Amino acid sequence: MDWQWKVRLIAAASLASIAVLIARRHRQRRRAQREANARAVLSHMAAVEQQRLADDNVDQPPQRVADHQATQELRSAFAATAALAESAGQLDGAEKSIADRIVAAASAAGGQVADGASAIPNNSNSNSSPTLPSSAWSLLRVDLVAPDPAIGRPVAVTGNWAMLGCAAAFGKAPLYFLQECQQRLGDVFTLNLAGRRMTMIADPKYFEDGFFNAEPAISFKHAIQNFVVNIAGIDPQRVLDTHRASHDLMKGKLAPNMLGPFVPTLSANFASEIEYFRNRVFQFLDTKKSADGSPAVAPFHARMISSPDSSGSPTTTVEVDLLFFVRHVMFRAAVPCLFGREAADGEKLATLFTNFYIFDKDFEYGTQLPGVLLPAFAKARKWIMENIFRPTVARVRQRDPENPDPKAVNQALFHSLSHLFHASDAPGYGMLLLWASQANSIPGSFWVLVFLLSHRQLYDQARAEVLAATKGAASITSEMVAQMPFLRRCILETIRLRAPGMITRRTTEEVRIGEYTIPAGDFLVLSPFWAHRRGANFQSPHEFFPDRWLAADVDKNKLLDGFIGFGGGRYQCPGRWFALTEMALFLAHMLQSTRLELASPAPEPSPLHLVGVQEPRTQCLVNVQFA
């Protein structure tokens, strides 16, 4: 062989050997880094669990939440970390104990654990700690990054691909995902969600000073900027420029002393819409029959249970979908009150109802995804904008804003808003006002009825209170509502148990939260839904107990300690007093004019909803007798 080729082969072999050595050293270094990270994360989880066991005030969540399928990927990540730390050794008693429990729990849930392309060794006896199946990490695997004391960063939940992070696992059931993280990682942790850093704050001691009252460093308007742009198509800079003025205007127009003119209109609308729904149900039951004689499927669920002719009962009982019943009545009653009959009446109101249902159903996805991925959502939004709000804005901008119609207070509110904003932005703000006024009060009222019907004695108590206050009157007044304190307590207790899954702020500069430093640009979130389930402020927090609100003075805005269902700080929900009034009037009319009974099991809240009140996971059927 030519000597030049020999030199080349020797050089190639030497380079290959060097490459192998470098790769081996790199793998060893990565392995050591993973082991060090795993030990740090496990040490952090052990400290969290020790603190939890020492804290008698923390109420554990129901087991059905911990066992939800959507948390399996996260529990697999916990188990992978525990198994890797255990294989690396140097664990103290508490860390070893929690490692065994995490691995066992993930194995029982069907979690699969692996490290890189190789299996994680299990050093413990197979009789005391189950052997987990090994596989390569999936593309969407959840991973954990230990807290960094040097720069004050909290523990992070991330993934192999920085573009996705833990977004795929989070999106399966975000409400449960947050609680699963908080249970293992403590009261401050960060999620990497498709390139966005979202830091969760679960400790109530940071809520007021570290979250609600830290403007402008922790900003509300910067948190909702993209949300408003994506939903309403408003110029991003004008969102920031007009946010405070629009919030203050709505807060003033919807203050408790301004709600008097709403009540007669809302009350009349609720009464007429309940009657309209009743007539529509019986019209379908009378005229739409299938071949076998049973009622045909209507646009809503309706089925005859008994009638005076068939069963000898003095009244007719029908089975309906409770959420559709509530949505149908509340939407059709409130929208004309909010925007005037000229904005939506007759067939236009019916079409608006259908399109808003589609819009609301995909609302949370629509805040993050382009319309091309949600064609039905985009089409419904376009119809509402083009057929409702653009014509309404064009009409009200021609009127004198200093001389609004005194009989349409909220129309005057929208009138004022339309002059406050840029002409091209006003329809978008109308869309936001429509969603904000309906997306919480409708499911909120639904859940009040579900809780009452699940506690029959409380339902009877609330109905007796309403009948005593109204004395058969067709119109329910503010004075009558004031004689229904138990009903108000039921509403507030429902808001506590079905509060929004998440409230968001955004840091505009580096901020300090306890021992952690949060960089500028991070989203800070807290979860009223889970905060209201902490035993520190609420005894038996998972129970529906309206009389806990006897300790509050709602008229003086003195709510229970730890209650953040309306937000907090300067930017509390500006429409909360209108919502409480609207819900009280609707529920009073429902209790006065119907008798309800559950015809299916009470549903659980959907874990998919973080923005606003949760929808039910399953259909809720009720038997209705109309008065």
Q: Which residues are documented as binding site for heme?
A: 573
Euclidean distance between CA atoms 605 and 544, whole angstroms: 14
CB 422 within 8 A of CB 451: no
- First-last CA distance in the chain: 106
Q: Which amino acid is at 144?
A: L
Q: What Cα–Cα distance (Å) separates residue 289 from each residue in 278, 309, 382, 531?
A: 18, 18, 36, 49
- Cα torsion through 570, 575, 580, 584, rounded to 10: 170
Euclidean distance between CA atoms 602 and 617, whole angstroms: 10
Closest CA to 410 of 343, 350, 352: 343
To which residue do tokens 């929808």 refer? 615
Kindly give the pairing relationship between strand 621-626 and strand 511-513. Answer: unpaired
CB 579 within 8 A of CB 436: no
Count CB-CB contacts under 10 A for residue 584. Answer: 25
To which H or E segment does residue 581 belong? helix 576-593
Closest CA to 502 of 612, 616, 366: 612
Euclidean distance between CA atoms 575 and 577, whole angstroms: 6
Burial class (CB in 10 A: 0-12, 13-18, 19+), 595: middle
Euclidean distance between CA atoms 466 and 194, whole angstroms: 50
CB 518 within 8 A of CB 507: yes
Q: What Cα–Cα distance (Å) separates residue 452 from each residue in 447, 591, 617?
A: 8, 11, 18
Euclidean distance between CA atoms 102 and 84, whole angstroms: 12
Beta bridge partners of 623: 319, 597
Q: Omega of the bond prior to 401 within 30 degrees of 0, cis?
A: no
Query: Which amino acids are annotated as binding site, given as ranges?
Result: 573
Euclidean distance between CA atoms 587 and 442, whole angstroms: 11
Q: What are phi and psi of 540, to 5 degrees?
A: 45, 60
